[in-house]
Amino acid sequence: METKQTVRIGAGAGTSDDRMVPALELAERGDIDYLVFECLAERTVSRENLARSKNSNLGYSPSLHARLRMVLPACMRNGIRIVSNMGAANPLGGARAARKEAADLGLGDVPVAVVLGDDVSSIVKHRPELRLIENGEPLESILPAMISANAYLGADVVCEALNTGAPIVLSGRVADPSLFLAPMMHEFGWAYDDLPKIAQGTAAGHLLECTASVTGGCFGWPGKKDVPDLARNGFPFADVKVDGSIVIGKTPGTGGRLDVMTCTEQLIYEIHDPTAYITPDCVLDITGVALTQEGADRVRVEHAKARPATDTYKVNVGYADGYIGEGEVSYGGIDAVARAKWAAEIVKERLKLQGFSYDDFRVDLIGMSSLHDQVDIRPEPYEVRLRMAGRTRERKAAHAIGFEVRAMHMHGPGGAGGACEPRVRDVLAVKSVLLPKNQVNAQVIVEGSL
């Protein structure tokens, strides 16, 4: 295979609910070689595991259909390869769904390389002594309620999937930056011991993994940090060269802004110790990184450093942890806050009278204290929305919260309006353990014929 001079890798999604059209714009006029869709939040795999337990064909990201239907024609026409973790809890099922979408679009038999092995539930089941990172307790404490256990796989196995030549690569849990690093390793033959390049590629992946966060999304502030044409903000890409040089850019003709400020916010985003950002591929150090504006909407990334990867994978263990119940109702005008506070006391008393108890309980006055607390020092607004929420083992107790809040219409202080229906949701909690890499069997299989 002839090595390209520059490979352009686009970010097509940064969360399961990301906007769709900017990915199509990248595929149609971004001149990209790869389009990466990162669609798994911490608990998404648990949720999809539950979906698969009800229907064995499901368990991949529900948005796979709509996303692929939108971009596949342009990707196939322009020779753009797709890399995504939309396989979620069922990468094989996702691959079959993807192939069906391609066939239905008249694109023929499109093979899909599937990354397997992130599901380590059958392995950790026999390792009750593993320590939970969050609280140091043994895994045993949550094993009975375990729904899923998935290792964050690295770029190596995704690269292996790209080596098959399949136009689409689908995985379950893979570390976000690794999805972007894999095409670089594939194109340029970078190995894990080539740390300066692995570092640069990981930094680029981290900059791209939240899509619009480097192009002006989650950034703008009127008069202080203006973002032009934010309504039509485009998605970013990285131009990567074989020597590890990286420039971040975005789809031509789209809105938003891409500069050193937006890139700095994303570079530090969700990093703890900046000398040790641990991915399955390396331990990244961003303290020396230099970001330079190279042109309009183009930022050069230099001097990322890395140490070799650790010998463990981080494993997210999802488990059922009871229910959260919620209710809301509004008060407006004279003494709105006093009436809302009184309502909260009445609801609490009624819940207690019925014998319900809660592991955690919360009262918010939306408009005053729902985000940053400290209700006693906030100025009183004209209107306020009371929100009450509690976590409990009992579904009935969870439902009672919203039920009693709604009853404020008829059984509470005067002038309550606009209560919502009682809300109850299953809590899919996530904790993590470390598992030696040599105990995980990451592998690639191809659906369809190459």
Partner 1 sequence: MTVRVYDLAHARAGDKGNTSNISVICYETKHWEFLERELTTQRVAQAFRHLAKGPIKRYPLRNLKAFNFVIENALGGGVTVSLAQDIHGKSYSNVMLAIELPNLK
Comparing CA positions, the residue from 169, 142, 165, 144 lying closest to residue 155 is 169
CB closer to partner 1 out of 121 and 370: 370
CB closer to partner 1 out of 297 and 328: 328
Contact residues for partner 1 (CB under 8 A)? 42-43, 133-134, 218-219, 221, 224-225, 261, 264-275, 286-291, 321, 324, 360-362, 364, 366, 370-374, 387, 389-391, 427-430, 432
Whether 320 and 427 have beta carbons less than 8 Å apart is answered as yes
CB closer to partner 1 out of 220 and 415: 220
Listed in sequence order, the residues at least 6 apart from 284 whose beta carbon sits closer than 8 Å to its beta carbon are: 199, 202, 203, 206, 276, 277, 278, 304, 305, 306
CB closer to partner 1 out of 57 and 275: 275
* 3-class SS of residue 439: helix
Least distance CB 261 / partner 1 (angstroms): 7
CB closer to partner 1 out of 33 and 259: 259
- The enclosing H or E element of 199 equals helix 195-208
Strand 298-302 relative to strand 277-278, pairing? unpaired
Least distance CB 215 / partner 1 (angstroms): 14
Whether 360 and 390 have beta carbons less than 8 Å apart is answered as yes
Whole-number Cα distances in Å, 7 to 11, 170, 248: 13, 20, 12
CB closer to partner 1 out of 153 and 301: 301
340 vs 370: CA distance, rounded Å: 13
Least distance CB 208 / partner 1 (angstroms): 16
Listed in sequence order, the residues at least 6 apart from 71 whose beta carbon sits closer than 8 Å to its beta carbon are: 12, 23, 24, 27, 35, 82
CB closer to partner 1 out of 397 and 428: 428
Least distance CB 395 / partner 1 (angstroms): 16
CB closer to partner 1 out of 233 and 266: 266
Retrieve residue 435's tokens: 């598992």
Least distance CB 380 / partner 1 (angstroms): 19
CB closer to partner 1 out of 141 and 287: 287
Strand partners, 37: 13, 84
CB closer to partner 1 out of 85 and 266: 266
Least distance CB 136 / partner 1 (angstroms): 13
Least distance CB 5 / partner 1 (angstroms): 29
CA Rg, the chain, in Å? 24
> For helices 176-188 and 195-208, what crossing angle results, to 10°?
130
Least distance CB 190 / partner 1 (angstroms): 24
CB closer to partner 1 out of 367 and 412: 367
Least distance CB 440 / partner 1 (angstroms): 22
Whole-number Cα distances in Å, 319 to 91, 153, 175: 20, 20, 20
DSSP 304-355: -EEEEPPSEEEEEEEEEEEEEEEEEEEEESTTHHHHHHHHHHHHHHHHHHTT
56 vs 53: CA distance, rounded Å: 6
Least distance CB 435 / partner 1 (angstroms): 17
First to last CA, the chain: 16
Retrieve residue 286's tokens: 């961003």
Least distance CB 370 / partner 1 (angstroms): 5
